[in-house]
């Protein structure tokens, strides 16, 4: 699970219908990014269920997001997939020059997960930090992803 504040843009609303189903489902998709404390950013696509009469958020809206995530092996060429259970837009006009003045100073999302660590730690480029692979799976974008 990933949670934190995300800027969203390029919103679009998509209608889907599962084979054999008589009802339609609506989702909003947004471009965003996962920013890391190291300065690295990963492109991401956020999907959230959208009620029938909902509309997309304006570009550059900042929202508090809680989402399941899939980190594909092809990062950064492939987007991180975020399947949001909650998208709470922060108040204000994103096109205003003062919009960011009232936003929380929390640019990095938090990641919580349960999985296994199949390898040893490795020292990262800064020579101090340690990194390791975590294998986890969850239902994201209508299928199980690891």
Q: Strand (E) positions, the chain?
A: 2-16, 25-35, 41-49, 61-70, 80-89, 110-111, 122-123, 130-131, 138-140, 143-145
Does 2.30.30 match the CATH number of domain 2-111? no
Per-residue pLDDT tens digits of the chain, which is 146 residues long: 999 999 999 999 999 888 888 888 999 999 999 998 888 899 999 999 999 889 999 999 999 999 999 888 777 788 999 999 999 999 999 999 999 999 999 999 998 888 888 888 888 888 888 887 787 777 677 766 76
Domain boundaries, the chain: 2-111
Buried b / exposed e over 106-132, threshold 16 CB at 10 Å, is: eeebeeeeeeeeeeeeeeeeeeeeeee
| Residues 69, 65: Cα–Cα separation, whole Å | 11
């Amino acid at each position: 699970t990933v949670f934190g504040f995300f800027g969203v843009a390029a919103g679009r609303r998509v209608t889907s219908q599962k084979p054999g189903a008589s009802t339609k489902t609506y989702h909003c998709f947004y471009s965003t990014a996962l920013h890391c404390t190291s300065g690295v950013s990963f492109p991401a696509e956020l999907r959230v269920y959208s009620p029938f009469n909902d509309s997309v958020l304006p570009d550059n809206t900042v929202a508090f997001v809680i989402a399941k995530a899939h980190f594909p092996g092809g990062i950064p060429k492939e987007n991180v997939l975020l399947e949001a259970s909650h998208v709470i837009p922060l108040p204000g006009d994103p096109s205003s020059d003062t919009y960011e003045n009232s936003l929380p100073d929390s640019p990095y999302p938090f990641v919580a997960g349960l999985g296994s660590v199949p390898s040893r730690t490795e020292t990262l480029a800064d020579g101090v930090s340690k990194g390791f692979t975590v294998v986890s799976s969850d239902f994201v974008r209508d299928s199980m992803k690891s």
